[in-house]
Amino acid sequence: MWIRPVAALALVVAAPGFAQGQAAAPVAAPSSAPSPAQIVAAAPAADWVAIAADQLLVMDLAPGRDRAARRVVIQLLPAPWSQGWVGNIRKLAAAHWWDGTAINRVQDGYVVQWGDPFAEDKARARALPAGLQSVPQSAYTLAAGAAPRLEGPRLTDGIYAASGRFYQGWPIAAGSGASPETWPVHCYGTVGVGRDMPPDSGTGAELYAVIGDAPRQLDRNIAVVGRVISGMEWLSSLPRGKGEMGFYRQGKERTPIVRVRLGSEVPGLPMWQYLSTSSDSFARYVDARANRRDPFYIRPAGGVDICNAPVPIRPKP
């Protein structure tokens, strides 16, 4: 029995970072059917893909009152989407540009945002490193002809896109038409590039992470560049800002960022891996997310939205 005593009153087992899928009819099912988490746990080692250290951005926040270390690990979006901004982020990390910056905004149910608190004050703003690109609005999407072939289960995603699929472990939406646009989507934990009004004004120095319901209205309006794969709780549990849009009103409320480094620069960093989105295990996981047949459920939904089928990620066993 996978429900522990006190947990029995507790809804569903849902391993962190997981969620649901698409497929069969919503019928009640044998109580021996595996849960999504059980399918993931049973996936063979060959279905897991290592995440290279140079694809990671490691952000160390100043310790909280309990003195515990607060490390947030972000996986950067792979080519070919958003690579202009991702390249800027690599340069900013290499320059140690974020060291001494802060988390400046926490808006409940929406985003946590970090960067230079004085970015808007010319006299105090931190200079950006040389060589950052100005990335055009057109880079928010890629024509299907310019994008690699998507893989894994095809989700309906009917409201925000014609369909949703996956690429190397990432959820990607696709529009309709003969050669539709494709774009990375905003889900819980997604990291994106804050910008001013001009669509090309975001460099990557100002970043945010989603801490609420998937804000899909941001898709194709802001650049998605990554996702939090470890330490999400250090962002999502921060005190909310009381200023407009969740900005902190006082400097002392901000959480200092001690350092941000590319994973390849961090000695002793653990390895992570994702469940291959072209694997049979992943297809079964998504199907089980869409049609919960494990014992707690009585009415499988018969579908799942792409943000509710998060790609399983785990530390390398």
Instruction: Output 47 or 232, the one with its CB closest to a second copy.
Output: 232
Among the candidate windows 89-97, 143-151, 197-205, 258-266, which touches a second copy by CB under 8 A?
197-205
Tokens representing 46 are 């060959």
Q: Which of 226, 303, 311, 314 binds a second copy (CB under 8 A)?
A: 303
**Residue for token digits 């950006």?**
128
Strand pairing category for 70-76 and 142-143: unpaired
Tell which residue, 100, 42, 50, 98, has the closest CA to residue 280.
42
| b/e sequence 210-239, b meaning 16+ C-beta within 10 Å | bbeebbbebbbebbbbbbbbbbbebbbebe
Segment contacting a second copy by CB under 8 A, of 48-56, 72-80, 93-101, 302-310: 302-310
Return the residues of window 280-299 that contact a second copy according to CB under 8 A. Answer: 289, 292, 295-299
Residues of this chain, 134-163, that bind a second copy according to CB under 8 A:
137, 140, 156-160
**Least Å from the CB of residue 26 to a second copy:** 9
Binding mask 156-195 for a second copy (x = CB under 8 A): xxxxx--------------------------xxx----xx
| Binders in 235-254 for a second copy, by CB under 8 A | 236-240, 244-245, 247
Residues, the chain: 317
CA distance 263 to 235: 19
Q: Cβ of residue 65: shortest distance to a second copy, in angstroms?
A: 6
Which of residues 95 and 119 has its CB atom nearest to a second copy in the complex?
119
Comparison of 16 and 270: residue with beta carbon closer to a second copy: 16
Question: Which residues within the stretch 109-128 sit at the binding site for a second copy (CB under 8 A)?
Answer: 109-111, 113, 115, 117, 119-121
Run of H or E including 236: helix 232-236
Cβ of residue 173: shortest distance to a second copy, in angstroms? 11
Residue in 135, 147, 304, 313 binding a second copy, rule: CB under 8 A: 304
Which one, 77 or 207, has the nearer CB to a second copy?
207
CA dist., res. 160 & res. 80, Å (int)? 21
CB 130, min distance to a second copy, A: 21
Q: CA-CA distance, 101 to 214, in Å (whole number)?
A: 26
Residues forming beta bridges with residue 273, ordered by sequence position:
50, 314
Alpha-carbon gap, residue 222 to 40, rounded angstroms: 32
Q: Using the structure block, give the residue that is written with the tokens 């060959």.
A: 46
Binding mask 24-63 for a second copy (x = CB under 8 A): ----------------------------------------
**Site for a second copy contains 216 (CB under 8 A):** yes
Q: Which tokens go with 38?
A: 């059980």
8 Å CB contact between 230 and 271: no
User: Taking the complex as a whole, how short is the minimal distance between the CB of residue 255 and a second copy, in angstroms?
Assistant: 12
Note whether 72 and 228 are within 8 A (CB).
Answer: yes
